[in-house]
Amino acid sequence: MTKPLITHLRHVAIAAPDLDRQLAFYRDLWGLTLTESDTGVHFLAAEGSPESYVVRLRKADDKRLDLVAFGAASAADVDTLAVELTRKGVQVIHEPRSIDTPGGGYGFRFFDGDGRVVEVSSDVETRTFRTIEERESIPVRLSHFVVNSANPEATVAWYVEHLGFRLSDTLCLGARGDFMWFLRCNDWHHSFAVSRAPHVAVNHISFELRGVDEYLRGTGRLMREGIQKVWGPGRHHAGDNTFSYFMDKAGNTVEYTTELQTVDWDEHHPSVHDVTKPELIDQWGTANQMNEFVAKQMFNDPDRGVHVAPPL
């Protein structure tokens, strides 16, 4: 089956009132590199990634998701996708045009089925990146982005139909039914996922580290610094990746992970994993229980950015 016009996850842009604390967290504790700043906005890159930036932070009166950005292979693919989405009745925020953010490029923005803003772009300049060294516990790249939806089945169907994502696996809570869907746009097990929740919100933003040793060193560093740990360290079954979840200074959940599974685009068949079985939620058995505290943090606050385009 043909792969989608979308090639990969580029960056996530979030906003909150206390920009200084957010910047200090992502730069000084989480391990991202500040590349550019303007009044009220900061762009941060991962040292091991060619992307111009992987996180954008903006000062705003309300905490919100500004947008999630994906890459396309060419300007022609951007134009093709814009035409297809317009034909299907998707609300386009702006047509394909030059992008005035670090790295530039050519892209357009639109609202997804839940009202969050999505950007698709091509021809973005890459930055000089480097090999992350042994024991260096900083992010190599942005791994995946998970969102909350009150109607997740419809959200999953929207991304499959409109953007060409494919379902990799599903999590369920026994007889209580399915609650998380992992979607891929390339050979990574997931670059995007949707979780059932009371409202639209950010569930978590995940960053890949070099290996298990670096992942554990990063986890330990944040614990020593007194950063609120939500869940972990452990190892999921679906995706086979490690996990340690923490809270940023605006109350968003962020994850250190490594060794996310790659799958064959055509040959991989999705499975349903029942996480009431302990070994299917944490293979190692080292993480704290997935309880009401964990769920509450990942439900997050209702997103104030739904159906509202950010100012930049």
Give the chain's mean pLDDT. Answer: 97
Pairing between β-strand 41-45 and β-strand 55-59 as defined by DSSP bridges: antiparallel
Handedness of CA 71, 77, 82, 88 (dihedral sign): negative
Q: What is the DSSP code (8-state) at residue 28?
A: I
- Give me the pLDDT at residue 39, please: 86
Contacts of 2 (CB under 8 A, 6+ apart): 164
> Whole-structure pTM over 0.85, yes or no?
yes
Pick the CATH number of 141-299 from 3.30.565.10, 3.40.1790.10, 3.30.420.40, 3.10.180.10: 3.10.180.10
According to CATH, the topology of domain 6-122 is 2,3-Dihydroxybiphenyl 1,2-Dioxygenase; domain 1 (3.10.180)
Is there a contact between 285 and 235 (Cβ–Cβ < 8 Å)?
no
- Give me the pLDDT at residue 301, please: 97
Contacts of 287 (CB under 8 A, 6+ apart): 231, 232, 233, 234, 243, 281
For CATH 3.10.180.10, the residue range(s) in the chain are 6-122, 141-299
- Give me the pLDDT at residue 210, please: 98
Is there a contact between 31 and 263 (Cβ–Cβ < 8 Å)?
no
Mean pLDDT of 227-243: 98
3-class DSSP assignment, residue 224: helix
Helix, strand, coil abundance in the chain, percent, nearest 5: 20, 35, 45
Question: HSE (CB half, 13 Å, CA atoms) of 310?
Answer: 27
Q: Percent of the chain beyond pLDDT 90?
A: 98
| pLDDT tens per residue across span 90-149 | 999 999 999 999 999 999 999 999 999 999 999 999 999 999 999 999 999 999 999 999
